[in-house]
Amino acid sequence: MIWQTTHHRIDLRVPKVMGIVNTTPDSFADGGHFLGSAAAVDHCRRLIDDGADILDIGGESSRPGAEPVSLDEERRRVLPVLEAVLAMGHPVSIDTTKPALMAEALALGVDIVNDISALRAPGALEVIAAHQTCGVCLMHMRGDPPSMQSQAHYTDVVVEVRSVLQARAQALAAAGVAADRLVLDPGIGFGKSVEHNLQLLLRQRELLVLGRPLLVGWSRKSTLGVLTGRAVGDRLAASIAAALASVLNGASIVRVHDVAATVDAMKVWRAAGLPITPGRLDEIQ
């Protein structure tokens, strides 16, 4: 399966690693580490050297309880980084919910818009529809980061997440966005309890009926802390295990902080002849 983006046709027959670049002071795992543009650009170079297939650059924390930042502040944080990194010729994603920033980033040549709110902001869907080839990732989240954990109530989390993602995918199709531009993210940790997150992992293949590749992000998240009793900085092994489990259950892209370790784990997994091909619809039965 191919993911069409602005400058790249990304072959997802082998799972890809998306490296996280947070230019924020308050992200839950690495807030403040890459605040300056130079530090963020250097980090991008390291992630490429470590084997990242895609770089995901964001300027607003989406941790539970995070407060929103202004458009001007988010623009100040990410645009200089995007300009520098795009010159490297690597697939680049902008992690934002703001339509104006999406449009600016796409005008610079960004490949992918990764929106945790699934293009719900007024004008966001129109920005994507107006672009001929950019990729887009739609993520499931109830509410917004300040309120989402208070809305973690489901009868069947997998069925309800699937229904919302299907509706958002249909909205894009109705706006004329080609299906090969779209990937879907179940939103691990976004308005979900530990049990909800584990159900989404266990039954992840049920989301493949939507017919689009899955992007999954477990890296360093609080559920891993609950399972292991470890602080954020000590969740490397748990993050790698979750990434491999996601791929085993059909994910095409894993979004991670620890790129080198994840890439190495996938190399060993593949060398051992273990399943690492993204899921197919006929494997759901």
Quote the CA–CA distance of 181 and 119 in Å, as a whole number: 14
- Give 50's Cβ-side CA count (13 Å radius): 24
189 secondary structure, DSSP code: T
Reply yes or no on whether 75 is catalytic.
Answer: no
At residue 32, what is the residue type?
Answer: G
Strand-pairing partners, residue 94, are 57, 113
Q: Decide the pairing of beta strands 92-95 and 16-22.
A: unpaired
Question: CA 234 → CA 27, 156, 250, distances in Å?
Answer: 16, 31, 26
Contact predicate 75/69, CB 8 Å = no
Give me 109's structure tokens.
């040549």
DSSP of 153-185, one letter per residue? --SSHHHHHHHHHHHHHHHHHHTT--GGGEEEE
Q: Of these residues, 142, 168, 220, 221, which one is catalytic?
A: 221
| 255 a catalytic residue | yes
Choose, from 255, 267, 270, 280, the residue flagged as catalytic: 255
Q: What are phi and psi of 96, to 5 degrees?
A: -155, 155
Q: Which residues are known catalytic residues?
A: 221, 255
